[in-house]
Amino acid sequence: MYSAQLITYKKESRIAVQFENKPELRARFKKLSGALWSTKLRSWHLPDTAAYRNQFGLPPMSMLSPAQQVKLTEYERWLLAKRYSNNTIKTYKEALKSFFTYHHAKKVEDLTEADLITYNNDYILKNKLSSSYQNQIVNAVKLFYSTIEHKQIRPELIHRPKREKSLPNVLSKEEVKMILEAHTNIKHRTMLSLLYSAGLRSGELLALRPQHIDSNRGVIVIKQAKGKKDRIAPLSEKLLSLLREYYKEYRPQKHLFEGQNPGQPYDSRSLQLVLKQSLAKTTIKKPVTLHWLRHSFATHLLEAGTDLRYIQELLGHSSSKTTEIYTHVSTQSIQKIVSPFDTL
């Protein structure tokens, strides 16, 4: 059995295919034209062609009517006017486009909750697409009909998946130190160190400008982060020394970390490569991502006795429930528990 879904990979539409990890299946898939493996996605993927869509049970290439295209454009303009993030706009547009494409023979105004249920059961569930994709579709369609069509779609009628309760991946302090000290390049070392020391998202790091480092107050100002909220993060004295050393050598013009072109922000994919190169110089075999450094920052703060409310503020979480997940990965209390096995 397999599951397939449309993805965007390096700004290109692709088809990600998940299947049982058997040598014979991998060998067959490798023979398909354009087949590639993505370590980041942990999935094989193919070019988005009409033939592959048909082969893997995906909706046909866009068959939107002019009227549907007009509605899609109207929806995009509304999202832009409401200042939704670029990622959200892209996600919601693609979700609504997929829904329209599946029901291309129907007029937009004639689509109902029953059509969304059909799409959910016969396309999303049948192809075993992710629960996050399922929720994105429902959210996008619901928002479109309530704002553009002024018609209510009752999401409670749609079989929503249970929210997956996965724990954040956390590194030990020793592992973090190995990663941060692996690079001799001062720029690479500073970027990774800043991610961990302030608990930043990678996008927040790349958006920083030199003036956002306030050495007098000992804080880092993070402008218009997730949810379009400003916040401040602590500026470590040890990191400040590293930043000064980096700044003297590179003299960035506009962004704190710039790529090969002066004034242009460092590329996100290049930042991922920086981490990959660092890991290759260590003995760590875990599939570490940049976000693991943020998770580790929060967990290490909690284990050091920092109040959960402060950690919530530092991470920029709107809800305390989001921050509370770190209590489940902190080993501080667990290590004090004596296993009954030790008393046998």
Alpha-carbon distance of 211 to 256, in angstroms, equals 8
What's the CATH fold of domain 2-157? DNA polymerase; domain 1 (1.10.150)
Residue 74 has pLDDT above 90, yes or no: yes
Q: What is the pLDDT of residues 184-223, one digit of tens each?
A: 899 999 999 999 999 999 999 999 999 999 999 988 998 8
Confidence (pLDDT) at 161: 57
Angle at 65 (CA atoms; ends 60, 66), nearest 5 degrees = 140
Query: What are the structure tokens assigned to 203, written together?
Result: 């996008």
Q: Who wins on pLDDT, 122 or 158?
A: 122
Q: 279: which residues sit within 8 A by CB, 6+ positions away?
A: 179, 182, 288
C-alpha 89/C-alpha 81 separation (Å) is 11
Residue 196 contacts residue 318 (beta carbons within 8 Å): no
**Higher-confidence position of 330 and 101:** 101
Strand order in 231-234's β-sheet? 213-214, 219-222, 231-234
pTM of the model as a whole: 0.62
Q: pLDDT tens, 225-274?
A: 676 778 888 888 999 999 999 999 999 989 999 988 888 889 988 999 99
Is pLDDT at 146 greater than 80 in this prediction?
yes
Does the pLDDT value for residue 343 go beyond 60?
no
Surface-to-core class of residue 324, CB atoms within 10 Å of its CB (0-12 exposed, 13-18 middle, 19+ buried)? middle
Q: Is residue 342 predicted with pLDDT exceeding 70?
A: no
CA torsion through residues 189, 191, 192, 198, sign: positive
Q: Could you tell me if 137 and 119 are in contact, meaning their C-beta atoms sit under 8 angstroms apart?
A: yes
pLDDT of 186: 94
The domain locations on the chain are 2-157, 173-334
List the catalytic residues.
201, 226, 291, 294, 317, 326
3-state secondary structure of 166: coil
Note the pLDDT tens digit of each residue in 269-297. Answer: 899 999 999 999 999 999 999 999 999 98
**pLDDT of res. 127:** 77
Q: Which has more pLDDT, 66 or 283? A: 283
When pLDDT is cut at 50, 70 and 90, the band that residue 182 belongs to is very high
CATH topology of domain 173-334: hpI Integrase; Chain A (1.10.443)
Burial 159-177 (b: 16+ CB within 10 A, else e): eeeeeeeeeeebbeeebbe
